[in-house]
Structure 1
Amino acid sequence: MFQCSRMIRLVLVFFVLCVVCSSSKPTERKNRVHHEEPLSELEHNDNKNFDYDHEAFLGRDEAKTFDQLPPEESKRRLGIIVNKIDINHDGFVSEEELKVWIKNAQRKHIYDSVEHQWKDFDLNGDGQISWDEYKNVTYGSYLDDPQTESEYNYTHMMWRDERRFRVADRNGDLIADKKEFTAFLHPEEHEYMKDIVVQETIEDIDKNGDGFIDLKEYIGDMYTSEDGEKEPEWVATERQQFSEFRDKNNDGKMDKEETMDWILPSDYDHAEAESRHLLHESDTNQDGKLSKKEILDKYDVFVGSQVTDFGEALLRHDEF
């Protein structure tokens, strides 16, 4: 079973490498920019409905569940959620607490992904994942037979993984709890991991090893020309983007700060905007915070609800 798990993990490593490294369509642009995911794909028009707000507040899957609940059950569950949002337990929900909740709701797919993988790596079941456990699951077959010929440099891959693991491991014990392991698997979502994301990106693109990304390397990472092939129009646009926006100091290359501005842009904060909107819609006494009563009185803004025959089947839920 253990050997099977290791083999499955190696297959996943192969898959990721193939996705990252392959260029089966030379004219197809590679995108390294990490944009914040939208809170909802729905139109935000409160004159029509509050569906956008429901998905932003609850996350898409949970919003669908609430849509099938009778109003009283929807209110009851919302009351439980309000208690969770009120982090400092002062009886009110602030704009910042709303923002934190919305961000967490939108990142639920990340947390679910980590939960799904957790048992594969926590080999001794102690609720933590050590670097040795991760290494053995991911690179076990290679460690058993390092002489096996392969087009992949597993030694280098393992070194990079360990370096990232050490950055994610905030207390330096080479053992990751769930928060640290989440940061390891999804570094672009964590502020303290941004430097390692930038470093790895530069290493991937920097072919001459000078620690910078020049124009040739920048274009070469996105586009590989073929003999007789006409260069796509977007390549010329990217050259212009590099000169006018990426290379801010006009020295012909991107340093770490410029690379961070490129791949981790300071996007419009959708969660902040939505928390401000929900506060504006529900703050009846205009004191800049929401009581539980104010939220429940405006429950239709926060969560969906309808009376259905099968709604009762959804009332049983571990969290509620």
Structure 2
Amino acid sequence: MSGSTSAGRMKTLSVLLAVTLCSWLVTCVPTQEKKDRIHHHKDLSDHKHDDSKDFQYDHEAFLGKEEAKTFDQLTPEESKERLGKMVDKIDSNNDTYVTAAELLAWIKFVHGRFVSEDVEKQMAIVDKNRDGSVSWEEYYKHTYSHLIDEEAFYDVVDKERYRQMMKRDERRFKQANKDGDLIATREEFTAFLHPEEFDYMKDMVVTETIEDLDKNGDGVVDVNEYIADMYTPESDEPEPEWVNTERQQFKDHRDLNKDGKLDHSEISHWIHPHEYDHADLEAKHLVYESDKDKDDKLTKNEILENWNMFVGSQATNYGEDLTRRHDEF
């Protein structure tokens, strides 16, 4: 993944984050603002990854993450020390080697823990009657009522934007709420917050992705809409090479029927690929890049020698887990 590509994506993310709530609204914000969208992160097979430039490799498994702490919070020495302790946990059979299978199991554990902790935190905030479930009324009142109903805080444009976001969240809530009673169990609330984790929510993810990208409202995504979501040119700025690469990706790999547009099924194929598992590919990638003697397994020294890649990977929750106490792993 080139540095230019990374910069373009970070610019996209910064635009999303620019739409912020007032300072006192610090928890349980509308889902569209709370997290980056699924489709922003490209398939692992799309790019040659340059881990010397871009350590935040393949963020797809952490869609919905609020704000990760990174290894920048620690000195290199602190990062290596904490990573070494984590390696002992990853080495599940205690044979002093870490295999791709052990890394895969660890990555899935880390991801599952993040989802569980996020849901637990949000439920503690929104479940006002402490009955172990979240009703749409509870969610709406906490997240939207003071944005839409209070005249003092937002102008008409703001109110309309939040009304649209509320309608979208309500639609997703109803989809997640299988029995239709508008009261989400913990599992249903998890499906609402992290729809990419549930098969029955994947169509909703596709629908939301199209809505986000389809600026002219024709129900499909053309190449310019596809590019505009990740790159906005400055005045008189030549188009970076990575943008041209993305255009070619659209033509060669996204637009399956070659009609110049992405429909619902093509968007689904893009963001829900069936050919591979992202976590599995990242585990194999970490081994491949760090395995100096090419024996298909890693020693602790091999991992620590490539520490900067690991602290920017799913294996350490992008560095956040290095800030945990050792007994919290």
Please confirm whether the aligned pair reaches a TM-score higher than 0.5, indicating the same fold. Answer: yes
8 Å CA contact 2:31, 2:169 repeated in 1: no
8 Å CA contact 1:198, 1:260 repeated in 2: yes
State the partner residue of 2:183. Answer: 175
State the partner residue of 1:49. Answer: 97
Question: Which structure: larger Rg?
Answer: 1
5+ residue gaps, structure 1: 1-5, 22-29, 60-101, 275-313
1:106 positional shift: 3.9
Pairing partner for 1:192 from 179, 192, 200: 200
Change (3 A) 1:249 1:271: closer
Instruction: Give structure 1 regions of 4+ aligned residues with deviation exceeding 3 angstroms.
Output: 6-21, 32-37, 44-48, 50-57, 102-106, 269-272
Residue 225 (structure 1) aligned with residue 225 (structure 2) = no
State the partner residue of 1:142. Answer: 147
5+ residue gaps, structure 2: 1-21, 43-58, 63-82, 284-325
Change (3 A) 1:230 1:169: same
State the partner residue of 1:31. Answer: 40
Once the two structures are superposed, what CA deviation does each residue of 1:46-76 show, in whole Å capped at 9, x if it has no partner? 985147666654x4xxxxxxxxxxxxxxxxx
Change (3 A) 1:229 1:50: closer
1:261 positional shift: 1.5
- In 2, Cα distance between the equivalents of 1:120 and 1:184? 15
2:132 counterpart SS class: coil
Residue 254 (structure 1) aligned with residue 259 (structure 2) = no
Once the two structures are superposed, what CA deviation does each residue of 1:248-273 show, in whole Å capped at 9, x if it has no partner? 0011100111111212223337579x
1:13 counterpart SS class: coil
8 Å CA contact 1:103, 1:271 repeated in 2: no
1:103 positional shift: 4.7
- In 1, Cα distance between the equivalents of 2:118 and 2:136? 19
Query: Which of the pair has the greater relative contact order for Cα pairs under 8 Å at 6+ separation?
Result: 1
Change (3 A) 1:7 1:227: closer
Residue identity in the other structure for 1:240: Q
Q: TM-score normalized by structure 1?
A: 0.58
What value does the CA root-mean-square deviation take over the aligned residues? 3.9
Q: TM-score normalized by structure 2?
A: 0.56
1:242 counterpart SS class: helix
8 Å CA contact 2:30, 2:165 repeated in 1: no
8 Å CA contact 2:135, 2:184 repeated in 1: yes
